[in-house]
Amino acid sequence: MICGRCRAEFFAPGTWTTLRSGQRFDILRWACEVPEHKHCTLCSTVLKDTIAALDTSQNTTDALSKNQPTSNWQRDVKVWPQLPVKVERRTGRLSFIVGPYSADFILQDGSDFNGISLKARLFIMSPRSRGSEEASVNLGSSTECDGSIQQAKDWLQACNSSPEHAECAFMARNQTRRSQGSGDDLFVPTRLLDVGTTEKPEIRLVGDTKKEGVQGPYTTLSHMWGIPMGDRFQLTNENYEQFCRRIDITDPKLTLTFRHGMEVTRRIGVRYLWIDSICINQGDDADFVRESTKMEEIYRNSYCNIAAVDSENGSQGLFRSRSPEDLPPDIVKFDGRSYTFLRPDLWDQQVLSGPLYSRGWVLQGKP
Amino acid sequence: MISTINAVQKLTRFAERMLTPRILHFAKEQIFWQCPGLTACESSPSSLPVGVYGADTKLELKWRRALHQDRLTDLDTADLNAIWQHIVRSYTSCNLTFSGDKLIALSGIATAMQRGLEEKFLAGLWDATTVQDRPLADLGDQLCWTAKTGKKINGSPCVRYKDYRAPSWSWASLDGIVTLRDRIIERNPIPTFEIKAVSVTLQDEVWVTGPVKAEGSRLELRVQTLPMEFKATSREWHRWEARCTSVDGEFTFDALMDDFDEVKSMSGDTDGSTILAEVVILACDVPDGSYAGHGLVLKQYEQGTDTCMYTRAGCVAFSGLAKGQWQDVVERSAWRDIVLL
């Protein structure tokens, strides 16, 4: 959300054209003093970033020792509003300068930004097309809701058949051939988990897809175990026969993430799921080698990969409850046009920095 | 530095993210969608503006694109090589002393790259000679990867795995942080080597990006082997003054060398400040009138009696070599066939 104060100061009709370089704003003060502003995408983000950028610097230490605040809140109210904030204007772009730190918010037409200093926080204002102005998104109180799963199905459907997904055509081709039963040469993993249907959610292992004529499609699951090898739910020589007959959904070793993975698979209308620990015999080295050679094909031919981004271990599952009113991006108006106001690090922050991916391992390797 | 288990898991996650064309990311507040044609989330289902991706995501999207391309452009080829360079560097930076074979862990991505590049996988290196219209001679550059020690290992040098993992000319044989050189073909002003044959023997012949075995894994080169004496010029191990002497004259140059235990074991004195070794030059250039380039430090293969059998003990980067000196020695040195195991 964008708070009323920010809307009034920056997004009132005509504001953009009348803002001058050097003009001062008490943006940090209003972020500190009005508790409702804590959730404001604009002022509270500028405040948080300012604190993060200046926290370690000498200035801050000095300021803190003079003010001697007893809590974070008091510190925020006492220290931060005293920092001068002024506006700087450049072409199509407005910056708040706070000491050595600047926060930019920008009118943007979807083009790329390179060479922006790392200290700058960019806010993206993306013009909204006419059609999308009417479309409102109805979000449920959890990612488990029908609306969320329906959205997932809509994306898959669009990717399968929409002309806008020309780059995804190879996927669509394969799915069509599968559904028409003409995909004999299509890749299918050796074993798959049959997750049943929503009406009849019985689970078993398909031990030999070729023999049983199972063609897929199948989903895959990206998840973190978080427990030692020996305690995992996995396929061995001992339980092979049993798994092929039936897998007990109430087995305590079957993690919540697995159960959710099966549920999502069923609800998007797919019957099979590939999970490494269940579809590769963990007690058979030759099987490991045989299936490892297929790993790339298994993932490439997956109907869809289901990723438990926010889970450190198997007990945390896929679904999350949420406050739906916080989710829709803010709409702001300038000169009669509508723009979507977004945080620019949305993807990195919400996807890549989740426990599953922990953004950063890749960067650690750089010299 | 992240722990061994985490490093392997994160590499696996990275591979899954790169290899599956369509992903439903179940995140903290909403579901995110990713396919080659669209990235979106529940609150912006019809697409997200490019601006919402940070640098990491932009890089990943570029790479995913290259990996899922039916027909590769030169740019895609460059991206694939960048992925490989990046992955090898990141993965070998983790402390993986107790982990399994590096080639097994990287096999999924290697398979995807191979499908695109159509090059032959050589235990971590790529043989482009199998592809028409692709520059051929860059295997020399690829052989000049460098190894160094992470600060975490308290200064002890990189080590060769005790069990056979790969031929000595592959970085997969080594436990240490590996940096691959860009696959840009450098023109050698003077041809310094010729690859006669290269082969690796797979443990399992259907797993072409999988583990390899010693028997039959070899690189045959026609080269000039130059006897050299390296003297450490500072307390730091990596900086040396190299001196090459032969009947035709001598030359000296500044050298940087791998931080590797086999190099150090070749020392001629007790404090390890002098090393005597044979060197082959695999890449050289004349950037500003003087010669600069890369070569390999060789070590006689001890078990055999055949004097043309060597292992790769390190990589040496040289610079500041005057043209006249080079010609005196290198152009008159004899050519011979050697085998690198």
pLDDT at B131 over 70: yes
DSSP letter, residue B128: G
pLDDT at B2 over 50: no
Amino acid at residue number B233: T
pLDDT at A133 over 50: no
Query: Alpha-carbon distance A31 to A2, whole Å?
Result: 11
Query: Alpha-carbon distance B62 to B80, whole Å?
Result: 10
Structure token pair of residue B231 = 């003297």
Contacts of B33 in chain A (CB under 8 A): 152, 155
Q: What's the whole-number average pLDDT of chain B?
A: 80
Name which of A150-159, A214-223, A225-234 the model is least confident about. Answer: A225-234
Q: Which residue has the higher pLDDT, A348 or A214?
A: A214
Name which of A284-298, A340-354, B86-100, B132-146 the model is least confident about. Answer: B86-100
Whether A120 and chain B come into contact, CB under 8 Å, resolves to no
Helix axes B55-67, B4-19, angle to 10 degrees: 60
Interval A72-104: pLDDT, tens? 555 555 555 555 566 665 555 566 666 555 555
Tell which A residues from 55 to 114 touch B, by Cβ distance under 8 Å: 108, 110-113
pLDDT at B123 over 90: yes
- The residue ranges of every structural domain in chain A are 4-135+328-348, 146-316
Report the percentage of chain B scoring pLDDT > 90: 18
Contacts of B204 in chain A (CB under 8 A): 289, 293
Interval A143-173: pLDDT, tens? 999 999 999 999 999 998 888 888 787 666 7
Pairing verdict, β A272-274 and A218-222: parallel
0.90 exceeded by pTM: no
Cα of B50 to nearest chain A Cα, Å: 6
| Site from B4, B13, B52 to mutate, A interface, most A CB atoms within 10 angstroms | B52
Interval B278-294: pLDDT, tens? 888 887 777 677 777 88
| Residue B130, CA atoms < 13 Å, CB-side half-sphere | 13
Tell which A residues from 141 to 160 touch B, by Cβ distance under 8 Å: 143, 148, 151-152, 154-156, 158-159
pLDDT at B319 over 70: yes
Amino acid at residue number B73: T
Subunit contact B29:A308, Cβ cutoff 8 A: no
Q: Which chain B residue's Cα is nearest to A360?
A: B56
Subunit contact A159:B35, Cβ cutoff 8 A: yes
**Strand, helix or coil for residue B11:** helix
Name which of A262-271, B75-84, B322-331 the model is least confident about. Answer: B322-331
Q: Which residue has the higher pLDDT, A27 or A360?
A: A27
**Strand, helix or coil for residue B162:** coil
B20 in Cβ contact with A302 (< 8 Å): yes
Contacts of B89 in chain A (CB under 8 A): 365-366
Q: Which chain B residue's Cα is nearest to A302?
A: B20
Structure token pair of residue A42 = 């604009």
Peptide bond into A367 cis (omega under 30): no
B197 in Cβ contact with B215 (< 8 Å): no
| Residue A193, CA atoms < 13 Å, CB-side half-sphere | 29
Subunit contact B49:A306, Cβ cutoff 8 A: no
Subunit contact B22:A289, Cβ cutoff 8 A: no
Subunit contact A151:B42, Cβ cutoff 8 A: yes
Whether B152 and chain A come into contact, CB under 8 Å, resolves to no
pLDDT at B45 over 70: yes
Give the pLDDT confidence score for residue A360 in this predicted structure: 42
Per-residue DSSP letters for B181-215?
PP-PPPPPSS--EEEEEEEEEESSTT-TTS-EEEE
pLDDT at B335 over 60: yes
Whether A15 and chain B come into contact, CB under 8 Å, resolves to no
